[in-house]
Amino acid sequence: MLYQEFLDHIFQKYSANVKLELTRMQNLLEAMGNPQNSLRGLHIAGTNGKGSVCATLEALALAHNLTVGLNTSPHLINYTERFRINGKDLPFETILDIYLRYENLFEKYEASFFEITTAIAFQAFKEAKLNTVIIEVGLGGRLDAINLFTPDITAITTIGLDHIKTLGGTLEQIATEKAGIIKENVPLVLGNIAESPLNIIIEKAEKLNAPVYLPQKDYFYQLNQIDLNG
């Protein structure tokens, strides 16, 4: 199967109206042997800033000589951009190999475009035996396919009005959806979030005994310079 043939095939499974739920993805991952359970790393949600945070974390991991996988969406030019290992896009041949090995399961469980993409990322990262992975939420959080991954740290960057038809039309509703990534006893790092949605997130974290780290209180940052070279 050539690259364009693969893209044509997998994009047929894309739907803007796909129902968000986790049962289908859970069944698929179980049939694959739950590759996500072998991974350690970070799970990043938020309206804005997810990509920048993920890129920064990847750079930090590489600077400390860690092997690192990065899964983000959407891609800008090439589908392979969604999967990075040690700072480089995963070769198409590797993606295709994983897809063909599990194609029967993708069909059996009627997996969506994003579910297939997520499953490929989990499997690729498992096989690479990485020190850490950085996983970006696709949509929302609570019912996002990636939410079956249990990280060492979760983060929510910002809360704003996005995907309101799916996530809700208020900051509070959207905060509830994004707070769905919080896991029991897993530390949660927060960005600058308005008081009302912040309270919802903190309440959820407290129920799950997840330690919360707030900007300018528990951690500090300062932007000294920014340009096109980073």
> pLDDT digit string (tens) for 71-87?
999 898 999 999 999 99
- Within-domain flag for 93: yes
Checking if the pLDDT of 19 tops 80, the result is no
> What would the mean pLDDT of 163-171 be, rounded to a whole number?
70
Confidence bin at 4 (pLDDT 50/70/90): confident
- Within-domain flag for 84: yes
Cβ–Cβ < 8 Å for 135, 42:
yes
Checking if the pLDDT of 16 tops 60, the result is no
- Within-domain flag for 15: no
Domain with 50 in it: 3-10+21-213
pLDDT digits 0-9 by tens, 173-226: 999 989 999 999 999 999 999 999 999 999 999 999 999 999 888 888 777 776
- Within-domain flag for 87: yes
CATH of the domain at 173: 3.40.1190.10
Number of domains in the chain: 1
Gap between the Cα atoms of 84 and 102, Å rounded: 20
- Within-domain flag for 219: no
- Within-domain flag for 225: no
Identity at 41, one-letter amino acid code: G
The predicted pLDDT at position 219 comes to: 87
